């Protein structure tokens, strides 16, 4: 009766070892998938933060941080008086610049483009920022009465024009004469091209402020003021503290709201897509726990028969699954944070070794891969991955808690 017992025990031990080995493989794959998902999310979010910061930094070099329009046009004396009031807090407002701008349509041969035409003067604070980004011509060539214009690089490319060409500017106004109603037109000469690598390259053009005032028939007055802040990110907070109810104020975040909203949506969509990797790891955790419950069914029955409650068995398998998930999260967070922090240097090293440049400065206007590691993003990734890991353990752990000792041990010898 017992002569085949050693063989039976040996076969059972071999099958048990094979099942345990397979379960261990699934658990290891779960750790790898979880770590890979966390690494991908942290690195991609950091790179997107880097590009977001780069775009904002380039925009803020040309776009006014705050724009204010009064109930009526302002003279230079009124602007000087307002400047004394606003510059009282020198730690916030860096400069007050007269504003004169309008929307218009530029035409060259068969090409047209709608732009924001802004008046500028070489003595104003924002002129230095534009001057630093000139790639053709010089900002000093904008002289009053010559009706010169400086275009963004994308706008110049769209119009297929360059320095020296004569453009036609059409204002959104009409002139009434005995001969009829005609649109207001003016010829401008391209004096230069600037580039900041952002949206303004395709939507902004600069002319001399005196020419702009003449076009808009403002005389010696200006439409409002533009403020440059020491820290552009304080613009919205500064607006909350002002007591000028008759003025209309707009910060750069409101002016570029559509662009920033699109960037936030892009970041959210990419995050959701990459979260699929973490979901795959969660399914692996479910598979490994289900196999473990099936393999340990007899052991669970023995423990239950000795007095362990169903809730205790559930907690044991939840802890087992969470251990696998958190092992992957810890590895992924460590490697992902290091990779996100040094990814610019890593890409630069690969470019130096291979001679192949991922970002051509003449095309992308950047020479290195920007990355900005935010610990808030890391915390969100860890929390989401931990929550998914916890949810993945519930069903297998519940099934383990439902094992009945009598049913599981009925056919055991």
With beta carbons less than 8 A apart as the criterion, state whether 102 and 121 touch: no
184 with 175: CB under 8 angstroms?
Answer: yes
pLDDT at 308 over 80: no
Pick the residue with more confidence: 309 or 358? Answer: 309
* Predicted TM-score (pTM) of this structure: 0.70
What was the pLDDT predicted at 15? 44
Confidence band (pLDDT; 50, 70, 90) for 337?
very high
| Contact yes or no for 75/219 (Cβ under 8 A) | no
Q: 178 pLDDT exceeds 90?
A: no
What's the mean per-residue pLDDT of the chain? 80
Tell me which of 410 and 231 has the higher pLDDT.
231
What are the E-state strand segments in 195-344? 204-208, 222-229, 248-251
pLDDT, tens digit, 9 for 90 and up, residues 134-174: 888 888 888 888 889 999 888 888 898 888 889 998 887 76
Q: Give residue 364's pLDDT.
A: 58
Query: Distance between CA atoms of 308 and 302, rounded to whole angstroms?
Result: 9
What phi-psi label fits residue 267: left (phi over 0), alpha (psi between -120 and 50 degrees) or beta? alpha
Q: Which residue did the predictor score with more confidence, 193 or 306? A: 193
User: Using one digit for the tens of pLDDT, what is the confidence trace for 357-400?
Assistant: 766 555 555 667 788 888 888 999 999 989 988 998 888 888 88
Binned at pLDDT 50, 70 and 90, residue 6 comes out as: very low
Q: Can you give the residue ranges of every domain in the chain? A: 17-58+260-409, 66-251
pLDDT in tens, 38-66: 998 999 899 888 888 877 777 777 778 88
Q: What is the Cα–Cα distance from 281 to 102, expressed in whole angstroms?
A: 55
Question: What is the predicted pLDDT for the residue at 133?
Answer: 80
Name residue 185's beta-bridge partners: 170
Give the contacts of 349 (CB within 8 A, at least 6 positions apart): none
Asked if 401 and 314 count as a contact pair (C-beta separation under 8 A), the reply is yes
């Amino acid at each position: 009766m017992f002569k085949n017992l050693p063989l039976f025990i040996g076969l059972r031990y071999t099958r048990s070892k094979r099942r345990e080995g397979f379960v261990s493989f699934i658990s290891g794959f779960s750790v790898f998938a979880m770590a890979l998902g966390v690494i991908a999310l942290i690195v991609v979010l950091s790179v997107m933060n880097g590009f977001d910061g780069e775009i904002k930094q380039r925009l803020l070099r040309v776009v006014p941080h705050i724009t204010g329009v009064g109930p009526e046009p302002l003279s230079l004396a009124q602007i000087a008086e307002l400047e004394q009031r606003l510059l009282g807090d020198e730690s916030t407002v860096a400069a007050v610049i007269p504003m004169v701008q309008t929307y218009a349509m530029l035409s060259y041969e068969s090409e047209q483009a709608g732009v924001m035409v802004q008046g500028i003067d070489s003595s104003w604070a924002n002129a230095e920022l534009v001057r630093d980004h000139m790639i053709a011509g010089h900002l000093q060539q904008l002289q009053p009465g010559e009706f010169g214009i400086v275009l963004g690089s994308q706008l110049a490319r769209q119009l297929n024009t360059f320095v020296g060409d004569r453009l036609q500017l059409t204002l959104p106004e009409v002139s009434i004469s005995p001969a009829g109603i005609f649109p207001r037109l003016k010829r401008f000469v391209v004096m230069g091209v600037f580039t900041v690598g952002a949206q303004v390259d395709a939507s902004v053009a600069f002319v001399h402020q005196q020419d702009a005032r003449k076009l808009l028939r403002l005389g010696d007055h200006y439409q409002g003021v533009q403020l440059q802040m020491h820290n552009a990110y304080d613009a919205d907070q500064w607006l909350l503290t002002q007591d000028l109810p008759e003025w209309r104020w707009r910060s750069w975040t409101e002016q570029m709201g559509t662009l920033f909203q699109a960037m936030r949506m892009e970041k959210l969509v990419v995050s959701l897509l990459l979260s699929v990797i973490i979901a795959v790891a969660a399914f692996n955790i479910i598979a490994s726990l289900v196999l473990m419950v099936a393999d340990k069914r007899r052991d669970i029955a023995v423990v239950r028969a000795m007095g362990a409650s169903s809730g205790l068995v559930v907690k044991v398998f939840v802890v087992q699954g969470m251990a696998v998930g958190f092992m992957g999260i810890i590895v992924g967070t460590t490697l992902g944070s290091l990779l996100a922090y040094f990814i610019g240097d890593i890409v630069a090293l690969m470019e130096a070794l291979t001679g192949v440049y991922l970002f051509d400065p003449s095309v992308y206007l950047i020479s290195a891969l920007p990355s900005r590691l935010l610990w808030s993003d890391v915390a969100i990734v860890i929390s989401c991955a931990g929550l998914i890991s916890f949810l993945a353990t519930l069903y297998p752990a519940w099934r383990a808690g439902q094992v009945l000792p009598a049913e599981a041990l009925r056919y055991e010898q």
